[in-house]
Amino acid sequence: MKFLFAVLIYFSSGMCTYAQDINTLLAEGNRLESVPDEKAAFKKFKEVLKLNATNIYALNKCSELCSRIGQRETVNTKLRGEYYLAAKIYAQSALKVDPKNSEANCVMAIALGRSSLSKSGREKIQNAKAIKIYDDSAIARVIKNFKSWHVLGRWQYEISNLNSVERGLVKLFYGGLPPATLKQSIASFEKARALRPEFLLNYYEMAKAYKDNDQKAKAIAYLQLMLTLPNQTEDDVAIKEKSRALIKEWE
């Protein structure tokens, strides 16, 4: 009986240490992401997965970070493609753990959206269809998922701007996609802004939609507001630089 008690104590203490290790790594990953040092954060979340390959928070974070880091690889296109592929693989793994997880569906939509930027024609349309499915699922699970509302705004903006060839492909292969207009895009961006007003990328994309909707003054006002907000991610410095260029171009 004493032996059994000792064994139980051993395993329970080991489980506590294991949980503490994971929680410590998750906390450090979150801290590094907020610095921001996204590559270092990515390494920490990968360490979590070495201990627990099904930790859905770490899987989601690895996917999202790969999408963001990959986008900044503007010179090494091969490496960028590898990051985008990794983003999809991590998202797929998260969805296997929990297909109904809002964030897992969201990061898959983001991963597909990032990889679509360098594609055209049929592959771009295929991704567009999948993005909408995953993003709708993310919003259905958590209505306040601000990133998913932003993705929806981007999707609606891109679909509303398809060229005639791409529209023909949509009709030929898919019988069409759900309707998407600039006004719908703006409404989705506004929803994301209401949920997370410090999300800088959302202002940049929303401003372009307002400008295309013949609301240039409002577009400029949003960019100017965004420039007063603190940076949140490693992308934000570049986003602000591009925003200043747009303000100069539009004024």
CB 50 within 8 A of CB 62: no
Q: Which residue range(s) make up the domain with 25?
A: 10-118
4 within domain boundaries:
no
* pLDDT score of 68 more than 70: yes
C-alpha span between 25 and 192 (Å, rounded): 29
Q: Cα 86 to chain center, whole Å?
A: 14
Tally of domains within the chain:
3
C-alpha span between 29 and 24 (Å, rounded): 9
Same domain? 156 vs 215: no
Summarised one tens digit per residue, pLDDT across range 118-147 is: 566 667 777 888 899 999 999 999 999 999
CB 206 within 8 A of CB 190: yes
Same domain? 178 vs 225: no
CB 148 within 8 A of CB 202: no
Same domain? 145 vs 223: no
Summarised one tens digit per residue, pLDDT across range 102-112 is: 999 999 999 99
Summarised one tens digit per residue, pLDDT across range 180-199 is: 889 999 999 999 999 999 99
Half-sphere exposure for 71 (CA within 13 Å, toward CB): 20
3 within domain boundaries:
no
228 within domain boundaries:
yes
- Give this prediction's pTM: 0.87
Which one has a higher pLDDT value, 246 or 114? Answer: 246
232 within domain boundaries:
yes
Length of the chain: 251
Judged by phi (left if over 0) then psi (alpha if -120 to 50, else beta), residue 175 lies in: left
